[in-house]
Amino acid sequence: MWCIKNFDEISSHDFFHIARLRIDTFIVEQQRVCSELDDWDLQAKHVYYQRDGKILAYARMFLAGEHFTFSRFVTHSSVRGTGLGDQLVNLILHYARNHYAEYPVKIEAYRQVLKFYQRHNFQIQGAPYITDGIPYVEMLYQPQNKQANTD
């Protein structure tokens, strides 16, 4: 089941499992040394997929100045490659279109997942940079115009 909630609407049980997924992925698996929780968690909308009490996909999304963004995008290792990540990014972009259509969608993406975001019409903006020892690149969402079928 997909959920979109403010921080204060998330149960302590769900937040525990969200934090565990984020820490297991970003700190343990990717061996990053950084603070995983920050003030954006309090302000963001949290979107996640839950099945049998387990969080399998998660991201947080928020307005950051003059653009809409999402971060901490993660899928559980057991569902990677199943399309759940595609569903998550599509849900986020749908939310952005419905609630923040006047703002561009920009993200900071790990260099190793650029092709994933490019499949969803994100384009690289600028040069790569390093934060917390991880190479990132800024990306901008470029919606594709769908042409009407004239047949």
Mean pLDDT of 66-70: 97
Q: 150 pLDDT band (50/70/90 cuts)?
A: very low
Tell me the pLDDT of the chain averaged across its residues: 91
Mean pLDDT of 45-61: 96
**What is the model's pLDDT at position 90?**
98
Report the 10 Å Cβ neighbour count for 134. 16
**What is the model's pLDDT at position 146?**
46
Mean pLDDT of 14-32: 87
**What is the model's pLDDT at position 89?**
98
Residue of higher predicted confidence among 120 and 133: 120
Backbone torsion region of residue 8, taken as left when φ is above 0, otherwise alpha when ψ lies between -120 and 50, otherwise beta = alpha
The 3-state secondary structure of the chain, one letter per residue: CEEEEEHHHCCHHHHHHHHHHHHHHHHHHCCCCCCCCCCHHHHCEEEEEEECCEEEEEEEEEEECCEEEEEEEEECHHHCCCCHHHHHHHHHHHHHHHHCCCCCEEEEEEHHHHHHHHHCCEEEEEEEEEECCEEEEEEEECCCCCCCCCC
Q: Residue 4: pLDDT above 80?
A: yes
**What is the model's pLDDT at position 148?**
40
Is the distance from CB of 87 to CB of 57 less than 8 angstroms? Answer: yes
**Residues above pLDDT 90, as percent of the chain:** 76
Question: C-alpha distances in angstroms, 63 versus 18, 41, 48, 55?
Answer: 21, 12, 18, 24
Mean pLDDT of 20-26: 89
Closest to 82 in 3D by CA, of 51, 61, 47: 51
Q: Residue 149: pLDDT above 60?
A: no
Q: Residue 27: pLDDT above 70?
A: yes
Residue 6 dihedral angles phi and psi, to the nearest 5°: -75, 160
**What is the model's pLDDT at position 145?**
61
Name the least confident of 19-23, 26-30, 97-101, 104-108: 26-30
Residue 112 token pair: 């190793």
